[in-house]
Structure 1
Amino acid sequence: MIKSNAASVEFRGVTKVYPGSKLAAVDNVSILVERGKLVTLLGPSGCGKTTTLRMIAGLEFVTSGNIVIGGIDVTTLPATERDVSMVFQSYALFPHMTVRENVEYGLKFSGFPKKEIGERGMAGLSLVGLQDYGARLPSQLSGGQQQRVAVARALVLEPQVLLFDEPLSNLDAKLRRQVREDIRDLQVKLGLTVVYVTHDQEEALAVSDRIIVMNNAVVAQEGTPRDLYDAPANAFVADFIGEANLLECEVTMVKDGEASVRLGPVNLTMSARGRSPGPARLAIRPDRIELVKSSTKNTLPATLTKVTYVGKHLECVAETEVGPFFAICNDVDAPFKPGDKIGLDFPGRGPVLIKD
């Protein structure tokens, strides 16, 4: 039986500068991954997320700051002395070994008795639904099955922290959805502490308890998936987590934490989020814009320039006096076509004030 030894992970002012570089790969980052939670490091290539993951694993050492796992400072400990397992993007399975031998490989080198190695190996395969595949070679498995073998090999070591480095990037879209659900189910079932790296926003929203968005070596924002989608802190997060229309507006009044906002001819009310009266910026999600057949009071007049049917919804582009809009219409039978004069309506939880 595989059990959880989950522990928290904390970065305290961690900076990483590679030799010969003048720029920090990770710059004064302080984060906390709570015990038994799945936290995703999300961001574009070069933002520092993989370097952060590798520092947790001990595959890279910090330039300054401290890393604490389970209350113990592991900053100077090598990878072999950290109770951490990593699942790589490439699976890293030995092609000449059977599935079961791959799963048991780490246990053999950790000095476990032969009987316990066998028991843990079978328990690991059972956890990922591959108990009948132990005698096969990796080449006889699908990509999704190979990824599950890699997960089982990490789980049997019962690590304090399980790390995933872009684990689904080699899978097709349908398999990615299935495997990410498998990973999340296992994490919840076993109460594992998981740090998960991806550049895929949908994947991060689907699996995470919390998301840490990184950009240019620093943390741009962290919070629950809903926090980041509904209330992005700045233009980068708004545009990176899903899509967003970013627009100039005017905050005309702030009272009791509520802001009155003018967007062209439209007056809106929303959370002030610490903003004062004056020029500001709005983020509006494409799926939180309602298209109406004709402009009415307090809707933004618009002209449709493009309407694309993509199966489950219509993707619409419209021109307005405050700039272009991208909107999603869930009614695929809506009678919209390019050239139509319409109105854009914004439900209460649609527009959000952001920082520049």
Structure 2
Amino acid sequence: MTGINAKAASVRFENVSKVYGTKVTAVDNINLEVKAGTLVTLLGPSGCGKTTTLRMIAGLEMATRGRIFIGDKDVTKLPATDRDVSMVFQSYALFPHMTVMENVSYGLKFSGFDKAETKEKALAGLGLVGLTGYGARLPSELSGGQQQRVAVARALVLEPQVLLFDEPLSNLDAKLRRQVREEIREIQQTLGLTVVYVTHDQEEALAVSDEIVVMRNAAIAQKGTPRELYEAPADAFVADFIGEANLIPVEITALDGDMATVRIADYTHRLPSRGLPQGPAKLAVRPSRMRLVAGQGDGVAAVIDKATYVGSRMEYTVTAAFGTVFAVLDDVATPFTVGDAVTISFAASGPVLIPAQAS
């Protein structure tokens, strides 16, 4: 990364709410800070408030309560035209009758640049997204991935303080999604841009983000780095939404400093308590952190219900006294088969305790 772009600005929400009519609360009293030069993803299921939050940054929706800052400037009441932000939409929103060059140049024509400057900036923008030489083509002559890159170039050439992405990869197939998300991340890091990125795709969020903000029911459920959210989810919702997780009911039987002893069926396990008291809790364990051994051992007795070969790994559905879990193992040479008796245990850094009930 070359450092923070001189124009890149932070974004700050102070107790911001958005209410439609008298009853529908789309965003409920959120506080949020996006540091200059970082990529922050708003992640969550449909209807959680992430797109409304993005649109309030853009000025396409106005906050009902609270204040929004871009840099040190209070933009809460400013219209979209007076905010130095650019947005890349899910639909690309390219003009079909204009060439690629004309599409990328469109916003520059209203920004006070002469023809020579406009052309120079548009060519530079196409170069940034790997589309040098495509300027004369129409959008219909491009692939979906290329059209998305044109939309990114059109936003980049305006050199905004903040660049916004609304589900930018949802119209692409899996292979293109991976490719374009890598390109977006590379451009963001190379240019030191402030980016706020909305998606409902957990893998996409983990791949591109400096920080992820998980939203649920119009509020922020948890925010942190991809690793923090994946390895230390705050509750069952975050654990299951950021990657797949087995949620196993346990009993915290003893506390010793910041360590807890938990009982799972007839098996006991020690791990950080994360501030939870004695009593019922849940253990969140990623499928890759499950351990299975043949026969009886130190762990929980279980039986293989399903065994699926997926090339680079084996996937198992396993039933124990506490319920059914999903495990992923790298050993494809000597797999378990349906009906095998196994013992379940966990990787040393695998499981984390979370509250028994949703917060």
Partner residue of 2:216? 215
How much does 1:309 deviate? Answer: 1.5
Partner residue of 1:13? 15
Deviation readout 1:10-41 (Å, 9 max, x if unpaired): 0100000112x513100000010000000000
3-state DSSP of counterpart to 1:25: strand
Deviation readout 1:136-184 (Å, 9 max, x if unpaired): 1111111111100000000000000000000000000000000000000
* Whole-angstrom distance in 2 between the partners of 1:5 and 1:135: 30
* Whole-angstrom distance in 1 between the partners of 2:64 and 2:193: 28
- CA contact 1:4–1:159 (8 Å) conserved in 2: no
How much does 1:4 deviate? Answer: 5.0
Deviation readout 1:111-139 (Å, 9 max, x if unpaired): 22222111110110010111110111111
* Whole-angstrom distance in 2 between the partners of 1:161 and 1:335: 50
* Whole-angstrom distance in 2 between the partners of 1:116 and 1:164: 26
How much does 1:266 deviate? Answer: 1.4
Residues 8 and 45 of structure 1: CA distance in aligned 2, closer, same or farther (over 3 Å): same
2:105 paired with 1:104: yes
Partner residue of 1:240? 241
Q: After the TM superposition, which residues 179-190 of structure 1 pair with which residues of structure 2 at under 5 Å, given as runs?
A: 179-190=180-191
Partner residue of 1:154? 155
| TM score, norm. by length of structure 2 | 0.96
- CA contact 2:314–2:335 (8 Å) conserved in 1: no
* Whole-angstrom distance in 1 between the partners of 2:266 and 2:155: 57
Q: After the TM superposition, which residues 171-210 of structure 1 pair with which residues of structure 2 at under 5 Å, given as runs?
A: 171-210=172-211
Q: Which residue identity is paired with 2:320?
A: T
Partner residue of 2:311? 311
Q: Which residue identity is paired with 1:15?
A: S
Partner residue of 1:126? 127
Q: Give the unaligned 5+ runs of structure 1.
A: none
Q: Give the unaligned 5+ runs of structure 2.
A: none
- CA contact 2:291–2:344 (8 Å) conserved in 1: yes
How much does 1:311 deviate? Answer: 2.0
* Whole-angstrom distance in 1 between the partners of 2:179 and 2:164: 19
Q: Which residue identity is paired with 2:343?
A: G
* Whole-angstrom distance in 2 between the partners of 1:269 and 1:320: 20
* Whole-angstrom distance in 1 between the partners of 2:174 and 2:219: 30
3-state DSSP of counterpart to 1:211: strand
Deviation readout 1:58-90 (Å, 9 max, x if unpaired): 000000001000111000000000000000000
Partner residue of 1:70? 71
3-state DSSP of counterpart to 1:337: coil
How much does 1:312 deviate? Answer: 2.1
Work out the percentage of aligned pairs sharing the same amino acid. Answer: 65
| Runs of 4+ with >4 A deviation | none
* Whole-angstrom distance in 2 between the partners of 1:306 and 1:269: 29
3-state DSSP of counterpart to 1:319: strand
Partner residue of 2:265? 264
Number of equivalent positions: 352
- CA contact 2:303–2:319 (8 Å) conserved in 1: yes
- CA contact 1:314–1:329 (8 Å) conserved in 2: yes
* Whole-angstrom distance in 1 between the partners of 2:334 and 2:214: 36
Structural RMSD (CA): 1.0
3-state DSSP of counterpart to 2:187: helix
2:42 paired with 1:38: no
Pick which of 258-267 and 216-225 moved more.
Answer: 258-267
3-state DSSP of counterpart to 2:349: coil
Residues 73 and 116 of structure 1: CA distance in aligned 2, closer, same or farther (over 3 Å): same
How much does 1:307 deviate? Answer: 0.8
2:327 paired with 1:327: yes
- CA contact 1:312–1:332 (8 Å) conserved in 2: yes
Deviation readout 1:235-290 (Å, 9 max, x if unpaired): 00011111111121111122221111111111111111111111111111111001
How much does 1:331 deviate? Answer: 1.5
